[in-house]
Chain A
């Protein structure tokens, strides 16, 4: 009798264990860069994706938002409490986390069909311990090789070559108005928008192969090519006749505010170099500019004789804890239906890299043209800053600001960057080719 009772108790306990496992708190923590600053903000829009996840799975989410993403993530990892999922625009950082063991592979999370919907680089294929894995799901893509302008101000054709673009201020078409608006400010990562333009000048003048060498640490900062790209950027950013307000205004203005003079009357400038996400910032301006009417873009032109090439930044989701909730979220984020939610519900320039999402999700007249680039055969290259080791990247941002403050120090700054480059161990460098 006693044996029967004990057997019954054991049976009940063992039967109850799986139930306990199922009923553990179902919350997933996500660290992301998009701030929820109110209705129609990037953060609020991203929450609609997460809300759909909660509605389908019942798993609650805790979205942590910050512009100091890398610092907060490193702090969390150092304390042994990373978020379940983090969204970074740096494939370099993510690959380093993968090699260091902090980022979990998605090999058995994503189906073959899901993987087939993306070009390989966006899933961050990485070899760890001799085995190939995939590590990321792209959430939002930004096309950077764009020059924004106000069609009501720029009456003539836009510059067709890099040379024309750089010389535009001195040309007949550009006379009378300061050509460029720029803003470097962005909290702890100020300087990135200058780095973006330097990289676009570089890749459109010297091509993807040299660009890849630079990003992989194989080309010196003091090399002729890198120095030329910096100097050509400097000819715009440090010349008060070429940039609105002069260089000090450039480094004290936030990247989100720098396009304001495009829409003033009289205009303060004609062009702004910025990624596709800037559409959302323009729309938030007090004058409520309209896409296609008040602002449009032309592709960043290449040097004479070069082929088209584009720089992109991609917000990539990576799994930092291997829990059922995190796996469920990553699988959900990769779906075709999920990838269409944000672009369809937004007018902020949100693009997906999922080839199975129809282009009719884009509602304004500009976005389909940008989406075409993502699905074209033109080479798409990650930003150099997104691939560089963190120490070099930070030094790069600071050098951009220092150069604006003191253009005469260019050679000294580039030499300093080479010293930082030399101090980084070889295994920290990544060789990520452009697509196509």
Chain B
């Protein structure tokens, strides 16, 4: 009787304890599932955010700013060479027949094309208005060269022609609000924009730490979940959770690659600035040659005796004499090689949309693996327990 009583009272208690265990297990499994999903969302969002920022900055830098800087440098160089070509044409005497010459026309055409390209790529605050100013000055400069040409062809017009040529050259090379100064200002503004891009592209340390911590946390939770399933259900390793771990590692490595992609951009910027400096060295050498020839032409035709020149020409003479002899340590081929290197680095630094596709695919695989690895056992357990 007593035994029967005990067995009657043990039944509900065991059942209650079993229910309690089952509920705790279900709660644990649901918590693990919720934790895995939450961490997946955080990992996925952080990866996509990194991609979006890096892709945007990289694209703007490679397709616009780098191109703008290259084209400004090209336009500057072409104008310097056009001026040199015109001066040499008139000082050689060939200008009487050929005017400023074919080389002048070619270089002006190159400069105009490059300025048009700059207009498409400019990203600075006042870039468009400065470009309009530069383009207006180019038109004025070419007109002044045309005026010089007309005078050189006119008998007795050499002195006026020389002064016109000098004024045109000063519009290019002078100190204040001149063509090259405006282009230098534009170039400097774009280099600042590129530096800003590089700053934006580099991921701060706390963001890098967050990416690592989230990935490690999700990996640890996947491992723990696998362990729980292993102990509670005495099953083999959950293959879907292994797949999830592999997808997570892939996704994290890809995100880390994106984080490090700013180095490629930085290399592009450094190479580009080096190319601009080399180009400037060559331009300075060409300018110096042209200005010496121009000084001799103007002094010879206008003053006859240099002592009778006015204050402006005397200062020009002093400036030309004071300029240091150019010792270009670079050649045209050096600049060309550097330009190719810029292009190669820029291509290498490209963060294509393929990365985003891979990132989304790996994140999708990750969540599918988590769902397949956790939900079916959970449902089976709940149905069995009922």
Contact = CB atoms under 8 A, between A and B. Distances in A.
Interface of A: 27, 29, 31, 35-37, 43, 62, 64-68, 71-76, 79, 81, 83, 183, 185, 187-188, 190, 244-246, 248-254, 257-258, 260-261, 398, 401-402, 405-406
A75 B133 CA distance: 8
Given A72-B140, A81-B132, A252 B315 contact: no
A248 B312 contact: no
Given A72-B137, A188-B167, A257-B315, A245 B132 contact: no
Interface residues of B, number: 37
Contacts of A254: 311-312
A66 B179 CA distance: 10
Q: Is the interface of A mostly helix, strand, loop or mixed?
A: mixed
Given A75-B132, A405-B160, A183 B171 contact: no
Nearest to B182: A66
Given A62-B129, A185-B312, A252-B310, A71 B136 contact: yes
Contacts of A257: 310-312, 315
B45 to A, nearest CB: 27
Contacts of B144: 188
B177 A65 contact: yes
B171 A188 contact: yes
Nearest to A247: B159
Interface string B133-155: 10111011001100100000000
A234 to B, nearest CB: 16
A66 B308 contact: no
Contact of A183 (B126, B139, B170, B312): B312
10 contacts: A71-B137, A72-B132, A81-B128, A183-B312, A187-B167, A252-B302, A252-B303, A254-B312, A260-B311, A405-B160
A249 B310 contact: yes
Nearest to A31: B133
B52 to A, nearest CB: 24
Contact of A188 (B140, B175, B298): B140
B313 interface: yes
Nearest to A37: B176
Given A183-B312, A188-B167, A260-B311, A66 B156 contact: no
A260 B298 CA distance: 21
Nearest to A260: B311
Contacts of B315: 257
Given A71-B140, A188-B171, A251-B160, 12 more contacts: A43-B177, A62-B125, A64-B133, A65-B177, A66-B136, A68-B137, A74-B136, A81-B128, A190-B167, A252-B309, A257-B315, A406-B156
A227 B240 CA distance: 102
Contacts of A245: 308-310
B129 A71 contact: no
B138 to A, nearest CB: 9
Interface of B: 125-126, 128-130, 132-133, 135-137, 139-140, 143-144, 147, 156-157, 159-160, 163, 166-167, 170-171, 175-177, 298, 302-303, 308-313, 315
Contacts of A68: 136-137, 140, 171
A37 B132 contact: no
Given A75-B135, A76-B136, A187-B167, A64 B129 contact: yes
A246 B310 CA distance: 9
A66 B177 contact: yes
B163 A251 contact: yes
Given A68-B137, A72-B136, A81-B132, A249 B309 contact: yes
A29 B177 contact: no
A71 B312 contact: no
Given A66-B137, A79-B132, A258 B310 contact: yes
A203 B163 CA distance: 30
Contacts of A258: 310-311
Nearest to A249: B310
A62 to B, nearest CB: 5
A171 B160 CA distance: 32
Nearest to B128: A81
B312 A253 contact: yes
B298 to A, nearest CB: 7
A75 B167 contact: no
A185 B313 CA distance: 11
B119 to A, nearest CB: 10
Contacts of A190: 163, 167
Name the residue in A187, A253, A260 with the highest tally of chain B Cβ atoms < 10 Å from its Cβ: A187
Contact of A72 (B133, B143, B159, B166): B133
Contact of B133 (A35, A66, A401): A66
B177 A67 contact: yes
B312 A252 contact: yes
A401 B311 CA distance: 18
Contacts of B156: 405-406
Contacts of B136: 66, 68, 71-76
Given A35-B176, A64-B133, A83-B129, A253 B139 contact: no
B132 A253 contact: no
Contacts of B135: 75, 79
Nearest to A76: B132
Contact of B143 (A64, A65, A71, A244): A71
Contacts of A75: 132, 135-136, 139
A273 B147 CA distance: 27
A246 B308 CA distance: 8
Nearest to A405: B160
Contact of A252 (B125, B147, B176, B313): B313
Contacts of A83: 129
Contacts of B302: 248, 252
Contact of B129 (A29, A67, A253): A29
B137 A249 contact: no
B139 to A, nearest CB: 5
Contact of A248 (B130, B139, B159, B170): B159
Contacts of A27: 125
A138 B217 CA distance: 71
Most chain A CB inside 10 Å of its own CB: which residue of B129, B170, B309, B313: B129
Contacts of B159: 248, 251, 405
A274 B372 CA distance: 91
A354 B129 CA distance: 31
